[in-house]
Amino acid sequence: MLKAVLFDLDGTLADTDPLHLLAWREVLAPYGLKVDPAFYRERISGRLNPEIVRDLLGLEGKEAERLIAAKEARFRALAQGLRPTPGLPEFLERIREKGLLWGVVTNAPKENARHVLEALGLRPPLLVLAEEVGRGKPDPLPYQLALRRLGVAPEEALAFEDSPSGVRSAVGAGIPTYALLTGHKEEALLEAGAWGVLQDFRKAMELL
């Protein structure tokens, strides 16, 4: 029996990927890197910031921290007037009506997560941040921790993601997972283990 619904944040609750792409494009340009949508999907989306800058630039320590801080500050400046993914408000209302638990599991830094949630007017009862867990997606630990905090078994939960990395994390925790087509191709999401794909949350009602 379904008891809880878990959501990724970026690209799932709101289509923030174009803003992240633009912010990364701006901060990486001085290093001679050109960030187009394909580069973003393949090298950036769904990964933790320290991994991204280490992989792309070989940066660690203070220099990496400065670059990451600049990127995230730029993202927050761009992320004004955010709108929820179509169907999300109605879907959350149905979740409340059914008395289901819900929460957000994200690789986003704390300040970004709070900024986006506040912009969307959302206050999830549970917020699991990969940076506080110690391991981020695609590792299943963030979702495993969410399940423990909610006191539900994997088969009693449902997860929504938008990246192969996020899908692998949720599926790795044993959670039936559906993926939104906001940034990645259907084939990649299904290959990662998604049970199905959705354009937005308007069709998600049928899963409850």
Q: Which residues are catalytic?
A: 8, 10
Cα 161 to Cα 169: distance, rounded to the nearest angstrom? 9
Virtual CA dihedral for 28, 30, 31, 34, nearest 10 degrees? 50
Cα 109 to Cα 73: distance, rounded to the nearest angstrom? 11
CA atoms within 13 A on the CB side of 53: 20
CB-CB contact of 84 with 15 (8 Å): no
Q: Which residues of 174-199 are buried (b: 16+ CB within 10 A; e: fewer)?
A: ebbbbbbebbbeeeebeebbbeebbe
Virtual CA dihedral for 108, 169, 27, 121, nearest 10 degrees? -30
Measured in whole angstroms, the distance separating CA 202 from the mean position of its chain's CA atoms is: 19
